[in-house]
Amino acid sequence: MNKNSKIYVAGHTGLVGSAIWKNLQLKGYTNLIGKTIDELDLMNPAAVDKFFASEKPEYVFLAAAKVGGIVANNTYRGQFIYENLMIQNNVIHHAYKYNVKKLLFLGSTCIYPKEAPQPMPEDSLLTSPLEYTNEPYAIAKIAGIKMCESYNIQYGTNFLSVMPTNLYGPNDNFDLEKSHVLPALMRKIYLGKCIENNNWDAIRTDLNKRPVEGINGIATNHEILQILAKYGIRRPLGGIEGGFTVEIWGSGKPLREFLWSEELADACVYLMEKVNFKDVAGQNQKEIRNTHINIGTGKEISIKDLAFLIKEKIGFKGELVFNKEKPDGTMRKLTDVSKLHSLGWHHKIEIEEGIEKMFRWYTAQ
């Protein structure tokens, strides 16, 4: 890519897209295109065709997606598979149709089987059944990988696929129902601290920015406590005055790997600058498979240890309660990042530093 190359970042306002946009700007790229959902509906083929025909981007980062945590994935199964298939089919196909020089498609490590070897190498894809709770989303992402591979093989395109591990960072989704585990834990524990400190100004500020089921900062204290209790932020029965608990889904035993979103962005821009499809296609031209690239840290932490780390960083004095009646999801999801390392990129920000950075960002908003 040249510094004046026309680059389209699909999903430029989201967690990943905004980080990629920022990284490109910091590296001196000046010709960036971003469209909000109101400006361009990526599920509308005619609208996407018109956009590519008029803008003619040279490079595309496909970071737009319907995403969520274990609850959202399991609840909105039809929505997740339909919307993700529509978005990626439209963008990938029109990138080919309008001769985009290079595209980078972002998936997720949930593409790997529930019983995949740990750490998960790229060639474990499609070797056994997926985790049930996020199967529709995973199938959509697998389709995206295969679409990129297939277009490369048939049409000679230069489309890459990357599979990030669990991400967190600026512009994350902090919705208590639909967000991923780390931002959900951070917000719940932060609100728990605000309640135990009787800091209603902070609670109302938080709810005004991110209402919960329509409850915002103008609601009564009783209404606010009711809605927060629904999401596990409550005073325990028979508990001492002022004592609060934060409930966390599952046993806390599953292990997860987390990558700071701005580091993912750096990896994505690095790969777009330095790596082509032929570099990951291998020597076997008869069967080209598993050309996608894992992006992660290669390190993991249990949900329980993560929760207590967030509690410590935020300063919540209450109790964390693990609800073992709720699903855990996959017990372990560690990426094998040896391919990524061989291509020359390594992470730098560890989870302790990342949580501090994210909490500073969240409270500054």
Domain range summary for the chain, segments of one domain joined by +: 7-171+257-298+332-350
pLDDT at 284: 65
Question: Per DSSP, which regions of 136-276 are E strands?
Answer: 159-164, 166-168, 233-234, 245-249, 255-256, 258-260
Look at the pTM and tell me if it is higher than 0.95.
Answer: no
The verdict on whether 155 is a catalytic residue reads no
pLDDT at 160: 98
The pLDDT, as a whole number, for residue 225 is 93
Which stretches of the chain score pLDDT less than 70? 69-70, 236-243, 284-285
- CATH code that applies to domain 7-171+257-298+332-350: 3.40.50.720
Mean pLDDT computed over every residue of the chain? 93
Q: Which residue has the tokens 């989870």?
A: 351
**Alpha carbon of 271 to those of 21, 128, 292: distances in Å?**
15, 29, 11
Of all residues in the chain, the percent with pLDDT exceeding 90 is 82
Residue 184 is predicted with a pLDDT of 92
Q: Of 137, 168, 190, 362, which is the active-site residue?
A: 137
